[in-house]
Amino acid sequence: MPTVIERLLRGAVDTHVHSAPDVVARRMDDFELVRAAAAAGLHAIVLKSHHTPTVARATIAAKYAAPIQVLGGIVLNTPAAGGFNVDAVRAVLRMGGRVVWMPTLSAANHQAYVAGVGHGSHLARLGAGFGGGALAACDAEGRMHPDLLPILEEVAAADAVLATGHLAPAETLRLVEEAQRVGVRRIVVTHPELPLVGMSIADQQALAARGVLMERCIRSVTATGDRSGVRTIAENIRRVGVASTIAATDYGQPESPEPPQGLRIYAEELLGNGFHECELRAMLQDNPKRLLGM
């Protein structure tokens, strides 16, 4: 008889995992990751890289990972895409990419945060040696970056997922408004608990009311290895809602558990924080599948 955790992992989707090859060290390569995910019973994983598109890697890895699905996309960083580059987005979507992330290491918000916490942090190392300036989705008056509209239109036409990356909350609110105006249906806030994002509960509730999902990553609150931070996520879920929550890992770092094991730990911690199996199934299986159109 499978345990509750085994039942939850069989069919789960991790929407945020990192693997090698990459510019920074990763715990597993693509093939090791998908084999481990398949062995754990996961339904799908989404490969993310701050530095290169992952759609080609995902397509190749998926051939050797049946029955698990492996998805990829592009982050609109300077190294990966040249910034807000509609041609790069168009190519990735035509190749079958499912997720377009707003800038992370190239985001103005990311760079401002790194300048404040110091250049020895993991976040600073992601961008070390890469230039290209700081990218913002909109200016202080809320005017969208002129190159973003055609990108949003491509995402809408492909019915792909728009993820908010490392934008500041005010940028995310404006981005969602514009994206939904042009027909983007699948939007997810990338790790709202990550300190450099730090999205308020009020902003999360406002976005959830618009049908936006929150990708709550265990890595955001356990980077030091202390799992007690999951209580913060549990509290946020109760205030914003299970229906708007995706539980993902953001794992792949050498010091972190293997992502499938990390998802198991996350499920155990949420179960221990009082969530029922049906609620966990929504956050681990149903909501991410809905986001990705599975």
Look-up: residue for tokens 């079958």? 96
**Residue 225: its pLDDT value, please?**
65
Q: Cα separation of 192 and 200, whole Å?
A: 8
Please list the alpha-helical segments (H only) found in 182-229. 201-208, 219-222
- The whole-chain average pLDDT of the chain stands at 94
* φ, ψ for residue 43, nearest 5 deg: -85, -35
**Residue 119: its pLDDT value, please?**
62
Q: What is the CATH number of the domain that holds 31?
A: 3.20.20.140
Q: Cα separation of 38 and 61, whole Å?
A: 12
Q: CB-based burial of residue 233 (10 Å sphere; 0-12 exposed, 13-18 middle, 19+ buried)? A: buried
Question: 284 by DSSP, 3-state: which?
Answer: helix
Residues 32 and 65: beta-carbon distance below 8 Å: no
Give the H or E element holding residue 73: strand 73-75
Q: How many CA atoms lie within 13 A of 45 on its CB side?
A: 39
**Residue 224: its pLDDT value, please?**
66
Strands laid side by side in the 161-163 sheet:
73-75, 99-101, 161-163, 186-190, 213-217, 245-248
Q: What is the pLDDT of residues 237-269, one digit of tens each?
A: 999 999 999 999 999 999 999 999 999 999 999
The pLDDT > 70 percentage for the chain reads 97
Spatial CB neighbours of 22, under 8 Å, sequence gap ≥ 6: 49, 51, 52
Pairing of the two strands 73-75 and 99-101: parallel
Look-up: residue for tokens 């041609």? 87
| pLDDT at 184 exceeding the cut of 80 | yes
**Residue 1: its pLDDT value, please?**
74
Q: What is the pLDDT of residues 17-76, one digit of tens each?
A: 999 999 999 999 999 999 999 999 999 999 999 999 999 999 999 888 778 999 999 999
Sign for the CA dihedral angle at 160, 87, 48, 170 comes to: negative
Q: The domain containing residue 43 runs over which residues? A: 4-292
| pLDDT at 113 exceeding the cut of 90 | yes
User: How far is C-alpha 127 from the chain's CA centre?
Assistant: 18
Higher per-residue confidence, 118 vs 206: 206
169-181 vs 148-158: helix axis angle to the nearest 10?
A: 60
**Residue 130: its pLDDT value, please?**
74
* Domains in the chain, number: 1
| pLDDT at 120 exceeding the cut of 70 | no
Longest distance between any two alpha carbons in the chain, whole Å: 58
Residues 20 and 30: beta-carbon distance below 8 Å: yes
Residue 222 — very low, low, confident or very high, per pLDDT cuts 50/70/90?
confident
Higher per-residue confidence, 100 vs 128: 100
Q: What is the pLDDT of residues 92-109, one digit of tens each?
A: 999 999 999 999 999 999
Residues 157 and 182: beta-carbon distance below 8 Å: no
